[in-house]
Structure 1
Amino acid sequence: MRQITMRVIAAVSAGMLASMLGIGVAFADGRSDLAEVRQATIQYHDVSAAIAEGYQPVGECVPGMGFHYVNFSQFGEMDRLVPDALTYAANKTGQLRLVAAEWFKVDADQDLATDTDRPSMFGKAFDGPMLGHAPGMPIHYDLHAYLWQGNPDGALATYNPNVHCPKP
Structure 2
Amino acid sequence: MSARPRPLLAVLALAAAGSLALGAAPAVAAAPAALPAATPATELPHPDLAETYEATKKYRSEQKAIADGFLRTDMCVEDESPQRLGGMGYHYVKPANVGSTDPARPAAVLYEDNHETGKRELVAVEWVVPNKGQPTPRIFDRPMDGPAVIPGVGDVFTLHAWIYKKNPRGVFAPYNPRVRCDCPEGVSPAPGGAPQR
TM-score category (smaller protein): 0.7 to 0.9
Counterpart CA distance in 2 for 1:154 and 1:94 is: 27
User: Rg larger in 1 or in 2?
Assistant: 1
| 1:80 aligns to 2:103 (yes or no) | yes
How large is the Cα RMSD of the aligned pairs? Answer: 2.3
Unaligned stretches of 5+ residues in structure 1: 1-20, 110-115
Structure with the larger helix share: 1
Alignment map for 1:54-65 (pairs within 5 Å): 54-58=69-73, 60-63=75-78, 64-65=87-88
| Correspondent of 2:148 among 110, 130, 140 | 130
CA contact (8 A) 1:65 1:87 kept: yes
TM-score by length of 1: 0.74
CA contact (8 A) 2:44 2:50 kept: no
Counterpart CA distance in 1 for 2:56 and 2:44 is: 20
Counterpart CA distance in 2 for 1:40 and 1:101 is: 11
Change (3 A) 1:67 1:137: same
Between the aligned residues of both structures, percent identity stands at: 37
Change (3 A) 1:91 1:29: closer
CA displacement 1:44-94 (0-9 Å, x = unmatched):
000100000000024610021000000001111222111110000101132
Counterpart CA distance in 1 for 2:44 and 2:102 is: 23
Q: Cα offset for 1:27?
A: 4.5
Counterpart CA distance in 1 for 2:51 and 2:136 is: 23
TM-score by length of 2: 0.64
| Correspondent of 2:168 among 141, 147, 152 | 152
User: After the TM superposition, which segments of 4 or more aligned residues of structure 1 sit over 6 Å from their partners?
Assistant: 23-26
| 1:46 aligns to 2:70 (yes or no) | no
Unaligned stretches of 5+ residues in structure 2: 1-35, 79-86, 184-196
Secondary structure at 1:163 match in 2: coil
Counterpart CA distance in 1 for 2:43 and 2:92 is: 27
Counterpart CA distance in 2 for 1:29 and 1:137 is: 30
Counterpart CA distance in 2 for 1:24 and 1:157 is: 19
Change (3 A) 1:149 1:51: same
Q: How many residues align?
A: 139
